[in-house]
Amino acid sequence: MDTAKISEIFKSYQGEGLWQGKEQAFVRFFGCNLACQFCDTRPTSYKVMNLDQALNVLSGLGKFHSVAITGGEPLLQVDFLKSFCSKLKEKKKIIFLETNGVLYQNLKEIISWVDMISLDFKLPSSTGLRLYWSQHEKFIQIAQKTNLFVKIVIGRNLIFKDLDKAIELIKGVNFGLTLVLQPENPYEKEIEGKLLQARERCLRQSICATIIPQLHKKMGIK
């Protein structure tokens, strides 16, 4: 595909996960295959951009640590991503992929160009969606070919049996993965207790887990 639906391209600081604080160029792709109840990023407009147009906008942003490919769900537009990521690597850019971790077949198409993956593991009690255990397992198996961490949003609706199931799945695929526990926004006192319980459950299973709130929300930036 020669074009993609892109909501925005901008420079800011990564607010989530293990690369929090890194200055990045964000390429936000339009559209998602899921509708999580806690989602705070639902673009309503986009521009149809070709490869050269997207690369030209990026070049005008100056210096940055890496390119964050985000959404929505960017893997929905994998045909464009294949050309886009290839060109980014030709320019020696570091590629950071943010994904819901469901479209594992599409990941296969671009995994060789990606440097880091942030996989947003979807617990049904938190998202209000159906089960995605099988898709997440297959996705993690493929994503192990590069750097990877798993993020789980901890909110007021979390049922701990869902978290226990996720821990079991992660241990079975990659025991050494880092699990980022991210409090749902807006942060409330009720969530704090669940965060601490969630981290304790991970540690009891010898899973490396860390609590990382959304930095960009606290700073009031994109």
Q: What is the mean pLDDT of residues 166-182?
A: 92
Q: What is the mean pLDDT of residues 212-222?
A: 79
Interatomic CA distance for residues 35 and 213, integer angstroms: 21
Q: Is the pLDDT of residue 39 over 90?
A: no
Ramachandran angles phi, psi of 178, nearest 5°: -90, 130
Identify the CATH homologous superfamily for domain 3-219.
Aldolase class I (3.20.20.70)
Residue 28 three-state SS: strand
Where residue 197 falls among pLDDT bands split at 50, 70, 90?
Answer: very high
Q: Which residues of 81-119 are buried (b: 16+ CB within 10 A; e: fewer)?
A: bbbbbebbeeeebbbbbbbbbbbbebbeebbebbebbbb
Ramachandran angles phi, psi of 78, nearest 5°: -65, -30
Please give the pLDDT value at position 195.
94
Q: What is the mean pLDDT of residues 125-142?
A: 90
How many percent of the chain have pLDDT more than 70? 97
Structural tokens at position 147: 């750097």
More confident residue, 58 or 126: 58
Where residue 131 falls among pLDDT bands split at 50, 70, 90?
Answer: confident
Please give the pLDDT value at position 38.
73
CB 5 within 8 A of CB 29: yes
CB 206 within 8 A of CB 176: no
More confident residue, 157 or 99: 99
Mean pLDDT (the chain, rounded): 92
Please give the pLDDT value at position 1.
65
Lowest mean pLDDT among 47-61, 89-103, 155-169: 155-169
Interatomic CA distance for residues 199 and 207, integer angstroms: 9
pTM of the shown model: 0.94
Q: Is the pLDDT of residue 112 over 80?
A: yes
For residue 57, how many C-alpha atoms fall within 13 Å in the half-sphere facing its CB?
18
CB 198 within 8 A of CB 3: no
Please give the pLDDT value at position 203.
93
Domain definitions of the chain by residue range: 3-219
Lowest mean pLDDT among 69-78, 121-130, 175-184: 121-130
Interatomic CA distance for residues 214 and 98, integer angstroms: 14
What are the start-end ranges of the E strands in the chain?
3-13, 23-29, 47-50, 66-70, 95-99, 116-120, 147-154, 178-183, 208-211
